[in-house]
Amino acid sequence: MCGGPFPGTERIQEVICSHPYKPASTRAVTSRSRQPALALRSRIVLACSDGGSNTQVAEDLGVARATVAKWRGRFVVDRLDGLVDEPRPGAPRKVSDAQVEAVIARTLEERPPNGDTHWTSRSMAKASGLSQSTVSRMWWAFGLKPHLVETRKLSTDPQFVDKVRDVVGLYLDPPEKAVVLCVDEKSQMQAIDRTAPILPIMPTTPARMTHDYVRHGTTSLFAALDPTSGSVIANHYRRHRHQEFLRFLKLIDDAVPAEYDLHLVLDNYATHKTPTIKKWLLRHPRFHLHFTPTSASWLNLVVRWFAELTTHKLRRSAHRNVTDIEADIRK
C-alpha cells in the first residue's frame, strides 16, 4: 500500500510504486559485486519506503540520521541516479590533448632520433619532455606496444579466395556420407636430452633447463585431424618422403569405413603431388584433396593440434632416443 506518515515517505513510495525500481534496488542490496556504500543507500531507501522515519531507519541500520535524510532526499529528486556518487573534482590535468596526440603520432609515424628500430618509454619521454610513466600510461590507453613485433606472411596465391572458400566450406558444411580430415606432417621432431636435469618449478621461480642439449635422432609425425569430432589418425615415420605419405594414406583408408568419401585438407608440399600419389588416388576415387593457399598453413586445423602437442609434449621434454619421444606422443 502506497502512502506513509513521515515526510518524504509518500514521495518515495510513489516513485517506487509507479516505476520498476524496487527490484533494481533489491538487486543492489543483494548483489555481491555492488559497492558496500551503494548497497547501504539502497537499504536506506527501501526502509524509508516502508514508512520508517529518519530516526527509526538510522537506528535500524546503524547510521546517522543526517545520512538517512540525505539519501531519502536524493532518491526523491533523482531516483536511482541519486544513489550514485557525484563526480568529485580532482587535480587538473598536466598533459594536454595536443601533447597526447603528439606522442601517439610520433610513436606510430617516426623512429627514434638515435636510429633505434622502435621507441621505448624512456626514449619517448626524453624526446617529448614528459615522464616515463606518463608515456607508458598513454601507450597503455591506446593499446600501443612498441617493443613487440609479430611475424606474418602474406599469401600471393592467385587462387587464394577460391581455396579459402573451398576449405572453409568443408569445415562449415561438410558433404553427406563423407569425412573431412585435416592432414599434415610435423617433420624432423628431435629426440633431445638436456645436458643437466630440468629443475622443477618453485615458489617465485619458474622451471629451469639448460639451453644446450644432445640430439638423439629425429622422427616425423603424420596426422589427420577430424575437425568435427576432434579425433586424430596419426603415425610416426623416420623419413618424410612421398613413400611415407602414401603409407599414411593407406592407413587413413583402412581407418575410415569404406562407405564414406574422404576429403583431405592439405598444404602444397611436394610429396602430396608426386606421380605415384596421383596414380594411387586415381585408383581410390573416394579420396578428394583440397589444397590450402600457399603460405596459409593457418587454414589447416591440424596445425593448431601440432602447436598444442609442441606446448604440452615437446618444448620442455627430454628424450634419450626416438622411441621415447614417439611413445610420449602416443600417450
pLDDT for position 12: 52
Residue range of the domain that includes 171: 160-330
Residue 92 falls inside a structural domain: no
Q: Are 15 and 75 in contact (CB under 8 A)?
A: yes
Please report which confidence band the pLDDT of residue 23 belongs to, taking 50, 70 and 90 as the band edges.
Answer: very low
| More confident of the two residues 294 and 39 | 294
pLDDT for position 17: 46
Q: Averaged over 34-51, what is the pLDDT?
A: 81
Angle at 322 between CA 317 and CA 323, to 5 degrees: 100
41 and 107 inside one domain: no
Residue 152 falls inside a structural domain: no
117 and 206 inside one domain: no
C-alpha count within 13 angstroms, C-beta hemisphere, residue 39: 9
186 and 279 inside one domain: yes
Residue 149 falls inside a structural domain: no
Cell triple for 126: 626524453
Residue 4 falls inside a structural domain: no
120 and 174 inside one domain: no
Write the CATH number for 204.
3.30.420.10
CA distance 263 to 286: 8
43 and 179 inside one domain: no
Cell triple for 199: 629443475
Number of domains in the chain: 3
Residue 271 has pLDDT above 50, yes or no: yes
| More confident of the two residues 26 and 216 | 216
Digit-coded pLDDT (tens) for 69-122: 888 888 888 787 777 776 667 777 888 999 999 999 999 999 999 889 999 999
| Closest C-alpha to 311, from 329, 296, 288, 297 | 329
CA dihedral 294, 296, 299, 303 (to 10 degrees): 110
Residue 154 falls inside a structural domain: no
Residue 153 falls inside a structural domain: no
318 and 251 inside one domain: yes
H/E/C letters for each residue in the chain?
CCCCCCCCHHHHHHHHHHCCCHHHHHHHHHCCCCCHHHHHHHHHHHHHHCCCCHHHHHHHHCCCHHHHHHHHHHHHHHHHHHHCCCCCCCCCCCCCHHHHHHHHHHHHHCCCCCCCCCCCHHHHHHHHCCCHHHHHHHHHHHCCCCCCCCCCCCCCCCCHHHHHHHHHHHHHCCCCCEEEEEEEEEEEEEEEEECCCCECCECCECCECCCCEEEEEEEEEEEEECCCCCCEEEEEECCCCHHHHHHHHHHHHHHCCCCCEEEEEECCCHHHCCHHHHHHHHHCCCEEEEECCCCCHHHCCHHHHHHHHHHHHHCCCCCCCHHHHHHHHHC
Measured in degrees and rounded to the nearest 5, phi and psi for residue 91 equal: -65, 140
252 and 184 inside one domain: yes
What share of the chain has pLDDT > 70, as a percent? Answer: 88
176 and 247 inside one domain: yes
pLDDT for position 245: 95
| More confident of the two residues 187 and 88 | 187
173 and 25 inside one domain: no
Residue 88 falls inside a structural domain: no
220 and 313 inside one domain: yes
69 and 115 inside one domain: no
Q: By mean pLDDT, which of 22-26, 216-220, 231-235, 252-256 is the weakest?
A: 22-26
Please report which confidence band the pLDDT of residue 314 belongs to, taking 50, 70 and 90 as the band edges.
Answer: confident
136 and 219 inside one domain: no
Strand order through the sheet with 232-237: 232-237, 213-225, 178-194, 261-266, 287-291
Residue 309 falls inside a structural domain: yes
| More confident of the two residues 10 and 216 | 216
Angle at 147 between CA 143 and CA 148, to 5 degrees: 75
CA distance 213 to 318: 9
Residue 18 has pLDDT above 60, yes or no: no
Digit-coded pLDDT (tens) for 228-267: 999 999 999 988 999 999 999 999 999 999 999 999 999 9
